[in-house]
Amino acid sequence: MDQYRSLKDHVYDHIAQAIDSGRLAGDDKLSEQQICDALNVSRTPVREALIQLASDGYLENLPRKGFHVKAMNEESAREIVEIIGPLDGRAALLACPRMDEDDRAQLQFLHESMQLAIAKSMLKKYDDLQHEFHDYYVQRCGNEKLIGYVRQLNRYFMKREYAHVDHDKQIALLQQANDEHAEIVRLFLAGDATALQRYVRDVHWSIDNAPFLVW
Amino acid sequence: MDQYRSLKDHVYDHIAQAIDSGRLAGDDKLSEQQICDALNVSRTPVREALIQLASDGYLENLPRKGFHVKAMNEESAREIVEIIGPLDGRAALLACPRMDEDDRAQLQFLHESMQLAIAKSMLKKYDDLQHEFHDYYVQRCGNEKLIGYVRQLNRYFMKREYAHVDHDKQIALLQQANDEHAEIVRLFLAGDATALQRYVRDVHWSIDNAPFLVW
DNA sequence: ATACTGTATATTGTATACAATCAAGAGAAA
DNA sequence: TTTCTCTTGATTGTATACAATATACAGTAT
């Protein structure tokens, strides 16, 4: 069963990846013609992909003036931080009773891997593992709509930059975050879904001391 | 300043309204040609609107087989109930410190109007007021992304049907809901944002005794 | 030099044309 | 009758053509 992928989907993935990888950023304007030339397709599938990307929050569409990449600014960062906690916490709550022994072992393994990454100052590695950690239980919450929301919100954390924070301070922040991961793992192991939700929502994603508000 | 509205937007509104109003429902298949004929436009803006509607959760797109209205079923209803509480609660938390005297008076007025609607057994009127009540503080939470999410989730509650519940039972459910609204108003007046968030999230939108899971 | 105006070019929005796939029905084989 | 295959028409996916608007730039007036 070879699953059909339209040119629209192909274009969609191409642009989405370019944005996620940071190759397209800021308020970059997208030229339809340029995309057509690059991918050897006509404007129809390109426009359809752009409309979908705009609907999914990747782009913005100024009527009669085209599409441009939605810039990350203070305001949208604040909006994301205000929402992610309740959603991630709810995902943890729902995932908790759906985890089996192997799942819990995976979470523990990821936590210890992150600790290793911190010890070796492998910041990028830590970042990847952190996403994998959160993704792991979100993917198992059994709520497709919730999974979609969290995925969309997390996209913005992909492009975080650490440049303007000095290295020691950065390590300290990661260590704090991973201590929280330890508690999250503990609550998953204990199977205390309610406490888990509260901890993820109110502590790990605390609006106040959000150490993740770093771009 | 006449703001430009493309044919795509026109088509989008047309279909969205047809779905919201219930004129299109179930798994109804949408014929592109039929829409073209009805609105006297070509397939291009129609397809663009359909793609956006699918991205916004109105429709589903089976490759090579077209678009059909996303049906409401047990599963998607459960998914919505699992998400709406944390989001609506967070919206209330954020809105609370942004409310002025007039806003609080509006909420109180809406609450009392709902009580009146219950007393007169005006179920449809109550429903409208309830939406207005929740919308009122959500619209003032200062988080556009959150507003969008709640709006999308609430679409599904628009088409709720009361038919299979007897009238007295229905009135009792509405009375309970409005008692909760009273508490919500009280917390808004008290300015206790934290308690408000908790109440909206854990009591009013409680997963367990969700009296709103009625289609 | 600066600001304005008109024109040429580029880009977006929409319509139409063509290609690929799907769905329905007729007819043949079991 | 049932099932299979083939064919035909309908529908979707893509390309191209055309129309409407926006952008850039040259030339002119101040």
pLDDT digits over B154-207, tens only?
987 776 665 567 888 888 889 999 999 999 999 999 999 999 999 999 999 987
| Residue B1 confidence (pLDDT) | 47
Residue B72's pLDDT band (boundaries 50, 70, 90)?
Answer: confident
Q: Read off φ and ψ for residue A61, nearest 5 degrees.
A: -120, 105
Q: List chain B residues with CB under 8 Å of A85.
A: 90
Q: Read off φ and ψ for residue B95, nearest 5 degrees.
A: -75, -35
Mutation target for A interface from B50, B76, B145: give the one with most A CBs within 10 A: B145
Residue ranges of B 103-142 with Cβ closer than 8 A to chain A: none
Q: Is the CB of B5 under 7 A from strand D?
A: no
**Residues B47-70, mean pLDDT to the nearest whole number:** 96
| Residue B156 confidence (pLDDT) | 79
Of B83, B85, B90, the CB nearest to A82: B90
| Residue A161 confidence (pLDDT) | 60
Residue A160's pLDDT band (boundaries 50, 70, 90)?
Answer: low
| Residue B202 confidence (pLDDT) | 96
| Residue A164 confidence (pLDDT) | 63
Of B76, B86, B149, the CB nearest to A90: B86
Q: Do B149 and A145 touch (CB under 8 A)?
A: no
Helices (runs of H) and strands (runs of E) counted in chain A: 9, 3
* Tokens 């782009």 found at: A59
State the Cα–Cα distance between residues A197 and A96, nearest whole angstrom.
9
How many Cβ atoms sit within 10 Å of the Cβ of residue A98?
A: 12
Nearest-CA residue of chain B relative to A149?
B149
Residue A173's pLDDT band (boundaries 50, 70, 90)?
Answer: confident
| Residue B80 confidence (pLDDT) | 94
**Residues A57-67, mean pLDDT to the nearest whole number:** 96
Q: Do B94 and A86 touch (CB under 8 A)?
A: no
Share of chain A above pLDDT 70, in %: 92
Strands A59-62 and B59-62: unpaired
pLDDT at A208 over 90: no
Which letter does DSSP use for residue B31 in this model? Answer: P
**Residues A154-166, mean pLDDT to the nearest whole number:** 70
Residues B95-126 have pLDDT tens digits of 999 999 999 999 999 999 999 999 999 988 99
